[in-house]
Structure 1
Amino acid sequence: MKKSLEAIKSAVSAGKLSQTAAENVTAWLTEERYAEYQGTVIEHIEGEMWQPLDDAFWTIIPFGTGGRRGRMYPIGSNAINDRTIGESAQGLADYVVDYWGGKKNLSCAIAYDT
């Protein structure tokens, strides 16, 4: 882990990775909630895959009028992947519960386009 964190700092210094991407990569590398993705993140770092890491982590994928849209990639805060879809679903669920209060039997539908 320490070696990966040092490599991230070196990549930023060399201009191969943006500072915001480095912050997001570091979070995915060190925070427990991203534990299942740490192996893939480390593989990218060890392989010096700085451009894919920068593309996938330079920002947090935004919500737009049609929801969250973006490139699919197995890791990254700026990509559509299991983690960001899960965050979207949890955010919507939290909003619905807050909006409707303690009402029971709430439901939702999830759709996608191609």
Structure 2
Amino acid sequence: MLASHAKPVVRKGVTAFLLISFAGTWLWLLFARAGLGLSPLNPLLQLPTFCTPGIAAVVVRHWVTNEGFAAAGLRIRRKTARRYYIVGGIRLDQLPQTAPFQRPYGAVHPHHVAASGA
């Protein structure tokens, strides 16, 4: 329930994002499939599809809502978020607790060797 002092929801940005994102994705899929003959499993078809929501976010933030990117929360905060950067930089395979649960790179499971006849 919204309080009386709460700001009303501005739906213009969300509507534009969804429209650009879905329309861009489907138009690209239809063009690539019908015009170029690409399979939906082809990475050349999938890459622009995955980038469309990001492009839509930039378009909406810059041209539709005129918010810009200064207040987007993308600034690097080295002092206040130092521990999160350190934890994010640690690879899980370097932690001793996770070593028993990981297979070494290039290891082959015994069932795979028996099934292939090697």
Shorter-chain-normalised TM-score: which range?
under 0.3
- TM-score for the superposition, normalised by structure 1: 0.27
> Whose RCO is larger (CA < 8 A, sep 6+)?
2
Q: Higher Cα Rg: structure 1 or 2?
A: 2
